[in-house]
Structure 1
């Protein structure tokens, strides 16, 4: 029987698990710290779902199972390495994280032909502890998940129904996630979606972290020059790798997302606030590294990486 296996006890992973539980889908969670795993999910309609008790250790998965890594890029190497002995039946892996670089990490540890799906989500989720000490995950914003195959030996099908004919297990994995936490949209070229998400994160995450502010303040005139500089550098780098981004469109999309999630605090803001490692290397740092390979100057992104890292000194 197909089952979702979710690594970690973060907000998005917990929300996926709760959605699976709510909709009768077999699921299991494997947090690094069982004590910090939420026990209940609170939905936007006022309902709630109790999460199943998590597991201490991995287990051998079936080929029809789906292993989801809703982790930060810097956590992936250790997590995937821990799971390697349990992947003998080649269950589909889903990488679900902000920023870029996760695929490179996974490819360095797994066989070249291992089935990997890349995903990015705009759902909002927040872990919180009640006054009684109960840990909950709250669905703070309805979004959507974009997902697609990381690599294929032939031209990828344009639709999910067509994908079912050539990659049935991966198509089933997408359908399973759709049942757990809709909507989920299949993308034949998922990398374009990931670069689009990167353009938004590259502006909102570092600026909210550095200025201790909510997402909506990104739209203020005081940040206009920096916004435009980041978008200009992003567009130059992305297009050097064969994409077709328009700088003005990128900037408008950033403003639209900042306003739509205005009351939220970015994940990087929260990481800085609570003294956790940030994803700056997988976001602005990724732009810097890709720019170096093409000889493109990106002073604004370089400075942002340095400034965010300095916050932890």
Structure 2
């Protein structure tokens, strides 16, 4: 089994590190700011897990290592450029972020044939500061991780056993991830899964940020028209790129996720509340950019991008 190298000190990266620690998977963390790296994790059963001391700088990776980047899309370019000199053995790189656009960044820097995995997770985690000025990560919700290999030549292996025959390095990297924070599910159609998650984020993130509300309020009647317009525009754009989304099913899924994560505050809400840059360009902004390329008007998503950017100035 390779070693996990986790870039950043955010909630999900810290959760992966804590779970790897708990399950005996070798790992190291490389936060941008060591002082804000969580020192421990609080598990859902009350268990407390102490994390290893963070690494101050990148190290040369072996081929069977796994470099995972649970970052914001806008942080990805700088992070990959920093790590490029240490990737000569071509270890597997895993992108895990909200929104879209990361694949394009990675392909530009690493090349279209690099051993790359795209991942999306529904595990919940919250990074909190303590009264002493330290940080910990709280495991707030059990979920699952979906992962796929976008750079493989077609036909794409449909099952993990098939992937093991075609690309054993990637299959072994998925096994490492599954040993670290299970369950991890291989998706041959990972881009469909990521677009589906984009539809959820495109509704929940901007509306919770703009109205200062928890996820559950997305289902309120006052947002009915806005929800429908966002989902309608999303479906038009996604299907123009060859996907087969049903608008009613997209809306139903958004409401289902909003209710299932009802007590949570979205990541964009948290970014606005804490004065951080948001991921609006990688979510609704991505829909807008992809719509432009096809000549599809998306006024609701365009307005949301403008409003969130005005809020975060």
TM-score band w.r.t. shorter chain: over 0.9
Matched, 1:262 2:269: no
Q: Deviations over 1:27-73 (max 9, x none)?
A: 00000000000010111111121100000100000000000000000
Match of 1:177 in 2: 177
Contact 2:204 2:266 in 1 (8 A): yes
Matched residues, number: 313
In the TM superposition, 1:87-166 aligns within 5 A as 87-166=87-166
Which runs of no fewer than 5 residues in structure 2 stay unpaired? Answer: none
Q: Deviations over 1:132-162 (max 9, x none)?
A: 2231000101111110001112311111111
TM-score, L = length of structure 2:
0.99
Match of 1:188 in 2: 188
Q: Secondary structure at the match of 1:57?
A: coil
Q: Deviations over 1:147-194 (max 9, x none)?
A: 000111231111111111111110011111111111111000100000
Q: Secondary structure at the match of 1:106?
A: helix
Q: Could you tell me how far 1:298 is from its partner in structure 2?
A: 0.2
Looking at structure 2, the residues matched to 287 and 154 of structure 1 have their Cα atoms a distance apart, in angstroms, of 26
Instruction: Return structure 1 stretches of 4+ with deviation > 3 angstroms.
Output: none
Match of 1:224 in 2: 224
Match of 2:305 in 1: 305
Match of 1:55 in 2: 55
Which runs of no fewer than 5 residues in structure 1 stay unpaired? Answer: none
Q: Could you tell me how far 1:220 is from its partner in structure 2?
A: 0.1
Match of 1:72 in 2: 72
Looking at structure 2, the residues matched to 221 and 42 of structure 1 have their Cα atoms a distance apart, in angstroms, of 36
Q: Could you tell me how far 1:111 is from its partner in structure 2?
A: 2.3
Looking at structure 2, the residues matched to 112 and 193 of structure 1 have their Cα atoms a distance apart, in angstroms, of 20
Q: Secondary structure at the match of 1:46?
A: coil
TM-score, L = length of structure 1:
0.99
